Chain A
Amino acid sequence: MYPHTHHKPNQPILAVSNLTVRYNGRIALEDVNFHLHEGERIAVVGPNGAGKSTLFKVVAGVLQPQIGEVNIYGSRPRGHVCIGYIPQRNQVDWTFPVSVADVVMMGRSAKLGPFNWPHKHDWDFVNHALETVELSNLASRQISQLSGGQQQRMFIARALAQEAELMLMDEPLTGLDTPSQEGILNLLDRLKKERVTVMVATHDLEQAASHFDRIMLLNHHIVAFDKPQLVLQTDKLLQAYGGRLRPLDGEQILTIDDCCDDGEHDHTH
């Protein structure tokens, strides 16, 4: 078996303290402190290059922080297999010769351990996950034949097959049409019932307000992290987005002058 760390009781599912990360010589994250409760849904909001993807990668244990620490149920992420990282869709090779079921089964690789082939038990997990995301009828399709929303749901199914307790989704709604976005958001509601904790990077403040328990406003450091109505205030948003935010009609409605380009590079306008 590949090594797994067991969860310590009475510890938060995720605790981040004094986290500072430099990425390609620049400060990506500075003195980030927060913790999550089990089953919470968190929207991570901030301008491009604010460090959202970096934060997710550090939490997932893929990237090592220079300063500070991340704890999952009381121990470092490296040993945990309960973290599901759902990549941005543009970072995936969709021509790879695998079916939807193959990709979902990849989530079982760790639990299977070396030299083992999937048992009936593992197929049950995969089939159940595909049912949950309503992709059972497309299980044998090659992944390039899926729509954007279906691709995203496939990755959620993979995280379910992995038995992930903490799901990190990097801009799952970007580039999807409204019905597909609704499909993903409804799925998040269902995950809450299964006590899955979810962190979602998003650009849509309205959806962040209506579908998430707390919003983290991030721009290298945490500007605000609280209930939506407490975070989505003009002064805090201006602080996070700088001059890139402009009030519309002098009302509460705000639009963000922020394109949907992804990635960790800073934009110099």
Chain B
Amino acid sequence: MIVAMMGNMTILIDFFLKPITYHFMQRGMIAAVLVGIVCAVVGTYIVLRGMAFFGDALAHTILPGIALGYLVSGGARDTLFWWALGTAIFAALGIGAISKNSEIKEDTAIGIIFAGMFALGIALISTVHKYAVDLSHFLFGDVLSVSTHSLWLILIFGGIVLLTVFLFYKEFMTLSFDPVLAATLRLPVDLLNNLLLILIAVTVAVSLQTVGVALMVAMLVTPAATAYLLTHRLSHMMLLAAIFASFSGVIGLYLSYYLSIASGAAIVLTATVFFMVSFGWKRMKPT
């Protein structure tokens, strides 16, 4: 009996430990958790300010930048982060300016730019022979190929994003809740709005390898929306979103390992299940 239990335990422990004996799995796990936390915290503001479409568009808009970097460097992955970062910041501020001064409705303007840029990215990548494999990495991510170098970049730039959110916590909260109050308190509203756009841009660049441009919006909004259902305080929402995102990253990678499914998709699906469970729980809970 005891022997059988011990045997079961060993199987169980083996189940969890075996995947992380591989270095690529270790790096993947760390990357998924770090990216998850950064996306969740920044995503809190995206959810509260109704910027999901902007986030999705921004992620897609950086594809031509990545494609250019990919063509210039001849397929090297490590420099792509810088191309992604540059394009993301440029695109974020560009979309921000256009949506403020546009003659047509904001979401239409964003839609046109995002689809056009995305098409340009695909066109550029398609000039390369055997482009389909690389394109799918950019679109859906490939967290298991994250190098130690990339991991450091994620850690440093993710850290900068989290630190900035922490330092401007009360300003971002005031601005998001009541922009008129922020203006009457003479907070630097335009500067803070642009800073938030840049934070989203850096987050997108940092997350590129984990979930890719097509699934990025899920990392930005799903854990934050899950947390939004369960708490009534902004700081708790950030913390809870970070926890959901971390678990999604870890569970998603185990699923990816054992079921042989694409890692980015597995992470996003896990996060979606978390959301659906809390949505159902909230609905059934008597209030």
Q: Does A39 contact B (CB under 8 A)?
A: no
In the assembled complex, the CB of B43 is this many whole angstroms from the nearest CB of chain A, namely 13
In the assembled complex, the CB of B41 is this many whole angstroms from the nearest CB of chain A, namely 14
Q: A102 to B183, Cβ gap below 8 A?
A: no
How does the 8 Å CB contact mask read for A69-110 relative to B, with 1 for contact and 0 for none? 000000000111101110100001100111100110111011
Q: B233 to A61, Cβ gap below 8 A?
A: no
Q: When chains A and B are docked, how far (Å) is the Cα of A81 from the Cα of B185? A: 5
Question: Interface residue tally of chain B, by bracket?
Answer: 20 to 34
How does the 8 Å CB contact mask read for B143-174 relative to A, with 1 for contact and 0 for none? 00000000000000000000000011011011
User: With A106-B178, A109-B174 as given contacts, are A99 and B184 in contact (CB-CB < 8 Å)?
Assistant: no
Q: Does A62 contact B (CB under 8 A)?
A: yes
Q: A110 to B177, Cβ gap below 8 A?
A: no
Q: B178 to A162, Cβ gap below 8 A?
A: no
Q: B185 to A99, Cβ gap below 8 A?
A: no
Q: When chains A and B are docked, how far (Å) is the Cα of A240 from the Cα of B38? A: 55
Residues of A contacting B174 with CB < 8 Å?
106, 109
Q: When chains A and B are docked, how far (Å) is the Cα of A101 from the Cα of B236? A: 15
Contact pick for A98, options B167, B168, B182, B233, CB 8 Å: B233
Contact pick for A110, options B185, B233, B237, CB 8 Å: B185
Residues of A contacting B186 with CB < 8 Å?
2-4, 61, 78-81, 110
Q: B181 to A85, Cβ gap below 8 A?
A: yes
Q: Does A60 contact B (CB under 8 A)?
A: yes
Q: Does B48 contact A (CB under 8 A)?
A: yes
Q: Does A112 contact B (CB under 8 A)?
A: yes
Q: B237 to A97, Cβ gap below 8 A?
A: yes
User: With A97-B233, A98-B234, A99-B233 as given contacts, are A109 and B184 in contact (CB-CB < 8 Å)?
Assistant: no
Q: Does A142 contact B (CB under 8 A)?
A: yes
Q: Does B7 contact A (CB under 8 A)?
A: no
Query: 28 interchain pairs (CB within 8 A)?
Result: A2-B185, A2-B186, A2-B187, A3-B186, A60-B184, A62-B184, A79-B186, A80-B186, A84-B184, A85-B181, A87-B180, A87-B181, A92-B178, A96-B48, A96-B177, A97-B231, A98-B232, A99-B233, A102-B234, A103-B177, A106-B173, A106-B174, A106-B178, A106-B181, A107-B185, A109-B174, A109-B185, A110-B187
Given pairs A85-B181, A99-B233, 17 additional interface contacts (CB within 8 A): A2-B188, A60-B183, A61-B183, A61-B184, A62-B180, A80-B186, A87-B181, A93-B177, A96-B48, A97-B232, A99-B232, A102-B173, A103-B177, A106-B173, A106-B174, A109-B171, A142-B233
**A residues near B, CB below 8 A?**
2-4, 57, 60-62, 78-81, 83-85, 87, 92-93, 96-99, 102-103, 105-107, 109-110, 112, 114-115, 117, 142, 158, 162
**B residues near A, CB below 8 A?**
48, 167-168, 170-171, 173-174, 176-178, 180-188, 228, 231-234, 236-237
Shortest 8 CB-CB contacts between residues of A and residues of B? A142-B232, A110-B185, A106-B174, A62-B183, A85-B184, A109-B174, A60-B184, A97-B237
